[in-house]
A and B are shown apart, each in its own frame.
Chain A
Amino acid sequence: MDNSFDVIIIGAGVTGCAVARELSRFDCSVLVIEKDEDVCCGTSKANSGIVHAGYDAKPGTLKAKMNIRGNELMPGLCQELDIPFKQIGSLVVCTDEANREGIDDLYARGITNEVPGMKILSAGEVKAIEPNISDDVVCALFAPTAGVICPFRLNIALAECAAQNGVEFKFDTKVTGIRSSGGVWEVDTGDAVYIARAVINAAGCHADDIHNLVSDKKLHITPRRGDYMLLDRSLDGFVKHVIFPQPTKMGKGILVTPTVHGNTIVGPTAVDIESKDEAPVTAEGLVKVQEGAVKNVKGLQLKQVITGFSGLRAHEDGGEFILEEADGCPGFFDCVGIESPGLTACPAIGEYMASLVSEKLALKQKDTWNGICKDVVKPVELPSEEREKLIKEYPEYGRIICRCETITEGEIIDAIRRPLGAKSLDGVKRRTRAGMGRCQGGFCSPRVMDILSRELGVALDSITKSGGNSKIVTGRTKDEG
């Protein structure tokens, strides 16, 4: 295999994949190197899934610019890539008369950042559109351009689209060293060395380590953990907007929002931790989440929890997105400190980084480029005649595997067979939602394992939850052994 590329991207989260897709418009060879088994295994898999309106970020910062531009690009991108996105609007709720000014400040900031359509709503107006809001509500900042998105589909679709336009991906491959040598970069992954004219560092929480391999101007990321609770879809409609408390120094606080799939999500906390790889949910975190939730929303049935999870924000000491060619490292580009609103910003970051790199390498746009990508076909979402036709032609679309989310065998097979297809239970789950429902895979995981084993042609006991050593079973029983 030829190990030389024009561009190597380190990290297959939303940042790396958004940059990959934008670069795939140009005539160049691109390799994405990812240490985990799949795309969307880092922070991009564990966040609130909010497309922020952009009133939070300090005016003039890259965070503000990328947020606003990302928000603007998102609806079009979601159309092109078939990504579930609902622009339901957000409310920052003030529940203490003494803090009313904070809402005015936020509004003013939003105006400077050019956030469209914002309004400050009175308590009565808030109650009218959000009946279960706390009785303590004083006023709220309403931003109609905020929305909720499926973060998995966003990440996966960006990657699939890049792949469809020629970008290569290497999984289970960790970058351990980077050297500049004769005008190119050598990227070392332990058992191979890849050569590139440009390197893009999109390594999430590890982006400081990657940067520090090449630059003398050291960066430092603190992983900031956020715990969540996800509630059952039976509560669909209980809240209608993304509901934030007023922000603090540690972040935007504990929100309550419907997800794009009709679950309710509550969280996150914000705690600085040591490990960049392990994000355990903590008992204290779950307590904080619950306390935070009931401050703004009354009568929320937290007993309907179906799972808890946590994610790590890549908080750089400067608190700003670092999107630039690293000092004294021509051709080495950083995307460092991509904490919230990184998901919202990713289309903008992709656009911006691709412009920096294409200029540097004097890349030409391709004549043909296909920016459209379809999601796995979901029979439940089809009109009944189309569903009929699909099942007639492919009976596996009539065989329900995941009962809670009504996911068929056909969808699971598609998720496995498509480019950059699923290789593990989590991979199937993030592409189809099989196992994401109220029983959390209790019924369907043995059957999904069967399908994975059949489709991938591997033994059932080698199937993993999420790659590496995360095997589901440890061997045969005595009778079968």
Chain B
Amino acid sequence: MKADIVIVGGGPAGLAAAIAAAKEDSNLNILILERDRELGGILNQCIHNGFGLHTFNEELTGPEYAARFEEQLDGLGIRYMLDTMVLDVASSVVTAVNSKEGVFTVDCGAVVLCMGCRERPRGALNIPGLRPAGVFTAGTAQRLVNIEGFMPGKEVVILGSGDIGLIMARRMTLEGAKVKAVCELMPYSGGLKRNIVQCLDDFDIPLLLSHTVIDIKGKERVTSVVIAEVDEKSKPVPGTEQEIACDTLLLSCGLIPENELSRSAGVKINPATNGPVVNESFETSIPGVFACGNVLHVHDLVDYVSEESGRAGRSAARFVKANKAEEGPVINIKNGNGVRYTVPSFVRLNELEDDLVIRFRSGNVYKDSYINVLFDGETKLHRRKQIITPGEMEQVILKKEELSGAPSEILIEITEN
């Protein structure tokens, strides 16, 4: 098989990348390979509202948001294959398997990695106790409820205050389950503020910060969990144990970008994001291999996924046409105080579209602080923020003209004043 661009994964990232590439050049032959039975990725199980506020100025459900993209595919001549799992990626050939073609390869000009992420399972969290049924990651529970139509349990404790956990707290409550508590190891929530208000506060579900689960009981099915307060080092404080009777423990303790394919392809990974290191065009360390969406870094808002993936798709199209700009200055983007990572990691000025969006996350909670942007040590931007938390992605947007001085380094930092 042959294609100009192969898109690995047909979630919102893959869809937006494909569409943008086709719009950049309608002659390109674009192929999306998706391992699930349908396109749309995680959005298919997100039947709550809250998608698309930025992109479409309306509140859509996940499937509605995905449909806005899916309906464009045919018109743009974008092909896709479902139930097709990509097994291997190299810069000009992708290997995949499905039940019709068996194992097959696609020769291609560029690849866009859009594999999304997976949830951190119980085992990776080292939660002690027995191993009965009734322990789910929040996303698996979401799939069971929203797609299969089954209830994972009746009395629920949730560990971790990531967005999926918060949304499932509400969903399970609306379905008649009793959510007894949401425990969060950190002294702050990992989820969006609006989800804490709409999913917990509105239903009187307690959010217990600096708490964790220290034991799971029940031989066949969960019968209770023991929770405890933790100290600054995240160690359980003796004497604070509480046993909560429940039949279900949901885990919402973080997402891990699915980069096994990227790693075996030899793509350089940023340990802070667990995603590829990319430049302004979302190109990885391997020329012609691009990455966007949750496989690159975990997003809270799908709108940002779509926007970023559009850039990745257009870049892939330009790469295929060998529309390379003349080599020019390269600007490194550095993490300053309080900044865990930035995407992209560096910018080739001549390849930049009209503006540069730098997305990043903080490593801690900052109240009444400032986001500073420094060009070669000189402050270019000093913006006050009431609250900055690791749970919400931050961004700064710089116009291309602002960069015309071609600094060699842009530093992003968070300061008290």
Closest to B155 in A: A474
Interface contact A440-B220, CB-CB below 8 Å: no
Interface contact A308-B133, CB-CB below 8 Å: no
Interface contact A480-B149, CB-CB below 8 Å: yes
Interface contact A406-B124, CB-CB below 8 Å: no
Interface string of A398-438 (1 = CB under 8 A from B): 11100100100000000000000000000000000000001
Interface contact B99-A306, CB-CB below 8 Å: no
Contacting residues, chain A, for B175 (C-beta < 8 A): 477-478
Our pick among B99, B176, B215, B247 for the contact of A398 (Cβ within 8 Å) is B99
Interface contact B126-A398, CB-CB below 8 Å: no
Closest to B97 in A: A398
Task: Give the docked Cα–Cα distance between A234 and B269 (Å).
Answer: 14
Our pick among B123, B139, B151, B221 for the contact of A230 (Cβ within 8 Å) is B123
Contacting residues, chain A, for B139 (C-beta < 8 A): 442
Residue A281 is within 8 A (CB to CB) of chain B in the complex: yes
Interface contact B129-A388, CB-CB below 8 Å: no
Interface contact A470-B140, CB-CB below 8 Å: no
Q: Which of A215-259 contact B (CB under 8 A)?
A: 229-230, 234
Task: Give the docked Cα–Cα distance between A174 and B82 (Å).
Answer: 47
Residue A280 is within 8 A (CB to CB) of chain B in the complex: yes
Residue A472 is within 8 A (CB to CB) of chain B in the complex: yes
Residue A368 is within 8 A (CB to CB) of chain B in the complex: no
Interface contact A474-B122, CB-CB below 8 Å: no
Interface contact B129-A399, CB-CB below 8 Å: no
Residue A102 is within 8 A (CB to CB) of chain B in the complex: no
Interface contact B148-A388, CB-CB below 8 Å: no
- Known: A280-B128, A398-B102, A470-B221. Is A440-B121 also a contact (CB below 8 A)? yes
Residue A272 is within 8 A (CB to CB) of chain B in the complex: no
What number of A-B contacts does a CB cutoff of 8 Å give? 144
Interface contact A443-B118, CB-CB below 8 Å: yes
Residue in B124, B132, B137 whose Cβ sees the most chain A Cβ within 10 Å: B124
Closest to A309 in B: B131
Interface string of B129-147 (1 = CB under 8 A from A): 1111100010110011101
Task: Give the docked Cα–Cα distance between A388 and B99 (Å).
Answer: 10
Residue B357 is within 8 A (CB to CB) of chain A in the complex: no
Task: Give the docked Cα–Cα distance between A475 and B151 (Å).
Answer: 5
Residue B320 is within 8 A (CB to CB) of chain A in the complex: no
Closest to A468 in B: B220
Interface contact B150-A307, CB-CB below 8 Å: no
Contacting residues, chain B, for A285 (C-beta < 8 A): 128
Residue A283 is within 8 A (CB to CB) of chain B in the complex: yes
Contacting residues, chain B, for A392 (C-beta < 8 A): 102
Interface contact B130-A400, CB-CB below 8 Å: no
Interface contact B103-A477, CB-CB below 8 Å: no
Task: Give the docked Cα–Cα distance between A391 and B35 (Å).
Answer: 16
Task: Give the docked Cα–Cα distance between A347 and B300 (Å).
Answer: 54
Residue B153 is within 8 A (CB to CB) of chain A in the complex: yes
Closest to B118 in A: A439
Residue A170 is within 8 A (CB to CB) of chain B in the complex: no
Contacting residues, chain B, for A446 (C-beta < 8 A): 140, 143-144, 147-148
Our pick among A387, A468, A480 for the contact of B103 (Cβ within 8 Å) is A387
Our pick among B35, B150, B215 for the contact of A461 (Cβ within 8 Å) is B150
Residue A319 is within 8 A (CB to CB) of chain B in the complex: no
Task: Give the docked Cα–Cα distance between A395 and B99 (Å).
Answer: 4
Interface contact A306-B124, CB-CB below 8 Å: yes
- Known: A387-B102, A398-B98. Is A465-B132 also a contact (CB below 8 A)? yes
Interface string of B11-39 (1 = CB under 8 A from A): 00000000000000000000000010000
Interface contact A442-B124, CB-CB below 8 Å: no
A73 to chain B, nearest CB (A): 32
Interface contact A280-B130, CB-CB below 8 Å: yes
Contacting residues, chain B, for A278 (C-beta < 8 A): 130, 219
Contacting residues, chain A, for B144 (C-beta < 8 A): 446, 473
Residue B67 is within 8 A (CB to CB) of chain A in the complex: no
Closest to A409 in B: B99
Residue A164 is within 8 A (CB to CB) of chain B in the complex: no
Residue B152 is within 8 A (CB to CB) of chain A in the complex: yes
Task: Give the docked Cα–Cα distance between A473 and B152 (Å).
Answer: 4
Task: Give the docked Cα–Cα distance between A399 and B144 (Å).
Answer: 20
Task: Give the docked Cα–Cα distance between A145 and B260 (Å).
Answer: 34
Interface contact B102-A477, CB-CB below 8 Å: no
Residue B394 is within 8 A (CB to CB) of chain A in the complex: no
Contacting residues, chain A, for B147 (C-beta < 8 A): 446
Closest to B248 in A: A474
Task: Give the docked Cα–Cα distance between A476 and B176 (Å).
Answer: 11
A40 to chain B, nearest CB (A): 15
Residue A469 is within 8 A (CB to CB) of chain B in the complex: yes
Interface contact A474-B154, CB-CB below 8 Å: yes
Contacting residues, chain B, for A306 (C-beta < 8 A): 121, 123-124
Task: Give the docked Cα–Cα distance between A468 and B132 (Å).
Answer: 11
Contacting residues, chain B, for A305 (C-beta < 8 A): 123-124, 126
Contacting residues, chain A, for B131 (C-beta < 8 A): 281, 309
Contacting residues, chain B, for A441 (C-beta < 8 A): 121, 140
Closest to A478 in B: B175
Interface contact B123-A477, CB-CB below 8 Å: no
**22 A-B residue pairings within 8 Å (CB atoms):** A280-B215, A281-B128, A283-B126, A283-B236, A305-B123, A305-B126, A307-B121, A308-B126, A397-B99, A398-B101, A403-B85, A449-B148, A460-B150, A461-B150, A467-B220, A471-B133, A472-B152, A473-B150, A474-B151, A477-B149, A479-B149, A480-B150
- Which residues on A are within 8 Å of B, measured CB to CB? 229-230, 234, 277-283, 285-286, 305-309, 384, 387-388, 391-392, 395-400, 403, 406, 438-443, 445-446, 449-450, 460-461, 464-480
Given A473-B144, A473-B150, A474-B247, 6 additional A-B pairs, CB 8 A: A282-B128, A398-B98, A438-B124, A441-B121, A443-B140, A473-B151
What 9 A-B pairs are tightest by C-beta distance, nearest first?
A307-B123, A480-B149, A395-B99, A398-B99, A465-B133, A440-B121, A473-B150, A470-B220, A391-B102
- Which residues on B are within 8 Å of A, measured CB to CB? 35, 83, 85, 87, 97-103, 118-119, 121-124, 126, 128-133, 137, 139-140, 143-145, 147-154, 175-176, 214-216, 219-221, 236, 247, 260, 263
